[in-house]
């Protein structure tokens, strides 16, 4: 149904939008771990391990991240379209 989205890919797409940090910048990895921990309810330490050891990622996490990605994309587009209908 959905293509899995690895945490690294998820972060590279959403961290610049959500926290204004870009890959390679100081604090980027920390922001990524905080966001992943918030979304998945795993510890920041576990989330940090996923970034360096992808084999440690629980099976459902990439599917869950894809779902979040789709929902956030919809939220980015929907308000503009809804506002256009009001005019």
pLDDT digits (tens, 9 = 90+) for 4-40: 999 999 999 999 999 989 999 999 999 999 999 999 9
Residue 1 lies in a domain: no
Residue 2 lies in a domain: no
Residue 42 lies in a domain: yes
Say which residue the tokens 């998945």 belong to. Answer: 40
Helix axes 7-18, 28-40, angle to 10 degrees: 110
Exposed / middle / buried, residue 32 (Cβ in 10 Å: 0-12, 13-18, 19+): buried
Q: How many domains does the chain have?
A: 1
Assess contact for 33 and 51: CB atoms under 8 A. yes
pTM above 0.75, yes or no: yes
Residue 24 lies in a domain: yes
Provide the residue range defining the domain that includes 74.
7-86
Place 81 in a pLDDT band, splitting at 50, 70 and 90: low
Q: What DSSP character marks residue 55? A: G
């Amino acid at each position: 149904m959905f293509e899995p989205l690895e945490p690294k890919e998820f972060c590279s797409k959403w961290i610049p939008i959500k926290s204004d940090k870009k890959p390679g910048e100081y604090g980027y990895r920390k922001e990524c771990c905080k966001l992943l921990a918030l979304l998945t309810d795993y510890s920041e330490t576990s989330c940090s391990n996923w970034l360096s050891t992808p084999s440690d990622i629980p099976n459902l996490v990439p599917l869950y991240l894809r779902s979040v990605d789709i929902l956030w994309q919809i939220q980015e587009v929907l308000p503009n379209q809804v506002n256009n209908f009001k005019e």
